[in-house]
Structure 1
Amino acid sequence: MKILLNAVGSHGDVLPFVGLGRELRLRGHRPHLFANAAYATLASVVGLDFSATGTVEDIDKLRKDRNATAPMDGMALLAKGVLQSVVQTYPLLEQAYEPGDTIVVGTSLAWAARLLCEKKAATGVVVHLAPSLLRSEHMAPSFGPLGHLAWAPKGLKRWAYALMDRRFLDPLFTQPLNQIRTGLGLAPVQRSFNTWMHEADLVLGLFPEWFAPRQPDWPSPMQYSDFPLYDHGDHAEMPDAVRKFLSDGERPILITAGTANASSDAFFADSIAACRKIGRRGIVVTQDARQLPANLPDGFAHFQYVPFRALLPKVAALIHHGGIGTTSQALLAGIPQLIRPMGFDQFDNALRTVSLGVAQQILPRRYGANRAAKTLKALLTDTDTQARCRTVARSMASNDGVKQACDAILALGQVHRVTPDSA
């Protein structure tokens, strides 16, 4: 069976699809990954067919834009990237599609995959790596300091969603999408973020139900898997320099801001200062050293990349941005987390992680060295937090989200074995 995998987003969005592709290939199927050229090496290492849907420069430009995490400017940049990806990706998917023996799998914002499924009546799967885009009038996703709005009446939530669509999402996303749809001979849609993006033969959440309990008004059919804890360094040796640093003293604090931005100078400076205030060493992981102080203090080391599956069990705590991949790896490692969310799904991920009793969050405007130091010290010394970390880690010991997700995708293929081509 041929499986077209379309991943749109950062390294953390693409990596789970590399894991899916690897597993599907091992099972004798023909996965083909469509993602930005920056991720070609990830695909080649595991033997995946790969088609580039954008340039490395596209990713770098977005990552280095200091407006990327600003509420409005960031949303506009995201919309531009998503719609550009649709235009670049659709013809590649169409060329690779084989009627009758193809499943099309896309991330939340891989809208070229959604369009292909509509145009060709193809079997399709929408994959949500995090629950933040699953709207609900019950437990709403969190996009900032207001949290999940559990206190708000359903009518107020409906009004808020409609306002967000009308004022922001429709002009930025839906209207340009409809121009593309017209060119493909498809009817326009309304409210692309409400129902259209979830319209597929299967909606698959790559997170466990204990992390995001099912809501009565979520899309159907929807299945869960465990977290897709695939790391392309899973089987790599820990670099010697990292091993040496770890052996030189007590377990350090790991500090990272993910790969989707290169404008976290203040975050790194404050986090390093917070560690120093409580007398802890630190490892800083970022691909862009320009975000760091010119000279790191004694007791701190910078590395561009370290496989988190190997590193996290050896650190005392993690300070990070709240990306779903980083969050889930820390849950598996059983370490406390200090989260400073910046945008997108990170606020929702942070709040859900805090609710597990294994983390604390500090919102961006309140994040500083003193507050971070106080919070970090509490996380490190609180016995209840440490116990909860161990409990969650034990519950994930047999985690195999990649295999579970592949099982669901292939089961769908058996149900929809014949895929008529309506082109």
Structure 2
Amino acid sequence: MALDRPKILIATFGTLGDVNPFIGLGRALQRQGCVPVIATSEEYRDLIEGEGLDFRPMRPDLGEISSRLNMQKGEIATKMSRSKRFLFDQVMFPHLRDAYRDVMELTKDVDGVVTHCLAFGAKAAAEQRNLPLFNVFLSPMLLFSADNPPLGTPAPFMTSRSPLAVGYNGLLLKTIEAALTLLASPLARFRDELGLPGVRGFELLVGAPGAAATIGLFSSLLMPPASKRTRSEIVVGHSFHDGCNTPAGASDPGGLPSELIEFLDSGSEPIVFTLGSLVAIDRIDYFRDCAIAARSLKRRAILLADSADVNKLRQEMSSEISVHGYVPHSLLFPRCCAVVHHGGMGSVGQALRAGKPQLVTPFCNDQFDIAERLRRLGIARTLKAKDVSADQLARNIEWLLSSASYADRARAVADEIALNDGAESAAALISQRLRRPGREISGCVVEDEPGTERV
């Protein structure tokens, strides 16, 4: 392979929210002259190849997990919302060796590896092959510290950044770290079997020993101001890929269904209700409550439901409510008055970029933390999924839309979000670090070029 075209394996696992950001990163790496290959669940092959990127299957496949657990995907989502251990004990850890073997095979001829921070098997393979590893975080919750504690969790963290609060949070994190070491014991045993260095706690669960870089692929606005100590992570901004490259605020009729365009053109800006690609499964009653709330407010609405529920919901709805499966958020959100969502980072990023006030109804995992961060930004209200009802939805949406402060703040945040393209920044960082002097790429040593800027 040519010296100036390093091959990079990108390994991720999860839903569209865990895949789309890496598609955006892959396309940006292509523009940097790199050769990216995305490894993930087989069900995303057509999506990834349709974007002009090379695809390789990496286990676990979501269908295989569903079959092994004898659960539909909706049941898996419900289990994750009820158990903090389910994701690790039942979904991730049973497939550590599968992912490791897949990535060991795929990294025979690559120059670097980019991983979702929870792609444990892929990280172990990169470490085993001594390849430059770029550990990517899609959520601010996982870059926690005493001055940036997880928010919206049962743990009694203090949100003040006073020395007392930071000291208290540090002690609490040490206690949680001990518990996480026990939770991640299957991962520790796996690393021990491979002869990899022993790590514990947070480093075991989300870290990457010796990583070339730790990258936060989300807006730094979701993080507190940088602390006085030197931070090791680099927060570069959102990767906005959703299958459409249209800038925020633009309208591309080719990217939306014609009946949806007609609906948007026929009246006032609607409220959008969405639960992403996994949480939406088996949530038809949630969308019914959303429709009731919109009608009580005399507002038009768009429901982005699971594809299996679209026809049934359409039969129940009036002409003021339009029901669809997935559509590109980058095209839809700018044409709406507010976004009601579950707190997935894909939806969050697009709503931030569109400059719209948000109501977040978190169900599981980092969604509670993200909801609280958006609330603290002054652009969102939060309502836990277990508390959702038509009445509560209506009450919170009315408050959101009747207070100009939410809309004003959302527009101001959008102006700041527009300054950073996370995918391009991350791709430039990865490319430069792979090409820095002394770094071997495909058997060659990269020399400095005149005027090269070091990162």
* 1:252 corresponds to 2:273: no
* 1:17 corresponds to 2:22: yes
Q: Which residue of the partner structure matches residue 450 of structure 2? A: none
Distance 1:338 1:146, change over 3 A: farther
Q: Which residue of the partner structure matches residue 274 of structure 1? A: 293
Q: Which residue of the partner structure matches residue 393 of structure 2? A: 372
CA contact (8 A) 2:219 2:417 kept: no
Deviations 1:322-362 (A, max 9, x none): 11110110111111111111111111111111122111111
**d(CA) in 1 for partners of 2:264, 2:65:** 32
Counterpart secondary structure, 1:375: helix
CA RMSD of superposed structures (Å):
2.7
TM-score, normalized by length of structure 1? 0.89
Q: Which residue of the partner structure matches residue 242 of structure 1? A: 260
Identify the match of residue 221 of structure 2 among 203, 210, 225.
210
Identify the match of residue 134 of structure 1 among 135, 138, 143.
143
* 1:229 corresponds to 2:251: no
Identify the match of residue 112 of structure 2 among 103, 123, 137.
103
Q: Which residue of the partner structure matches residue 31 of structure 1? A: 36
CA contact (8 A) 1:90 1:113 kept: yes
CA contact (8 A) 2:435 2:441 kept: no
Q: What is the 5 A alignment of 1:144-223?
A: 144=153, 149-150=158-159, 153-154=165-166, 156-167=168-179, 169-172=180-183, 174-193=184-203, 197-199=207-209, 200-213=211-224, 216=227, 220-223=231-234
Counterpart secondary structure, 1:140: coil
Deviations 1:74-129 (A, max 9, x none): 53234432224432222222222246x61111011011232123212211110011
Distance 1:309 1:163, change over 3 A: same
Counterpart secondary structure, 2:340: strand
- Which residue type is aligned with residue 418 of structure 1? E
Counterpart secondary structure, 1:138: coil
Gaps of 5+ in 1: none
* 1:296 corresponds to 2:316: yes
Q: What is the 5 A alignment of 1:60-75?
A: 61=71, 63-65=73-75, 67-72=78-83, 74-75=84-85
**d(CA) in 1 for partners of 2:304, 2:439:** 45
Counting matched residue pairs gives 417
Identify the match of residue 61 of structure 2 among 55, 61, 64.
55
- Which residue type is aligned with residue 337 of structure 1? Q
**d(CA) in 1 for partners of 2:255, 2:14:** 27
Deviations 1:235-275 (A, max 9, x none): 65221011112123221111111112224344323222211
- Which residue type is aligned with residue 161 of structure 1? L
**d(CA) in 2 for partners of 1:387, 1:22:** 33
Counterpart secondary structure, 2:20: helix
**d(CA) in 2 for partners of 1:56, 1:134:** 26
Identity of aligned residues (%): 28
**d(CA) in 2 for partners of 1:160, 1:420:** 45
Distance 1:361 1:282, change over 3 A: same
Distance 1:27 1:411, change over 3 A: closer
How far has the Cα of 1:170 moved from its partner? Answer: 3.4
Structure 1, 308-317 or 136-145: larger mean CA deviation: 136-145
Q: Which residue of the partner structure matches residue 283 of structure 1? A: 302
TM-score, normalized by length of structure 2? 0.83
* 1:409 corresponds to 2:430: yes
**d(CA) in 2 for partners of 1:365, 1:58:** 29
How far has the Cα of 1:145 moved from its partner? Answer: 6.3
Distance 1:294 1:248, change over 3 A: closer
Distance 1:356 1:371, change over 3 A: same
CA contact (8 A) 1:189 1:196 kept: no
Identify the match of residue 9 of structure 2 among 4, 20, 25.
4
**d(CA) in 2 for partners of 1:374, 1:88:** 47
Distance 1:176 1:108, change over 3 A: same
CA contact (8 A) 1:134 1:218 kept: no
Structure 1, 106-115 or 59-68: larger mean CA deviation: 59-68
- Which residue type is aligned with residue 126 of structure 2? C
- Which residue type is aligned with residue 119 of structure 1? Q
- Which residue type is aligned with residue 157 of structure 1? N
- Which residue type is aligned with residue 278 of structure 1? L
Q: What is the 5 A alignment of 1:292-331?
A: 293=313, 295-298=315-318, 299-331=320-352
**d(CA) in 2 for partners of 1:147, 1:383:** 32
Q: What is the 5 A alignment of 1:74-113?
A: 74-98=84-108, 102-113=111-122
Deviations 1:133-161 (A, max 9, x none): 12211230114366863258445434543
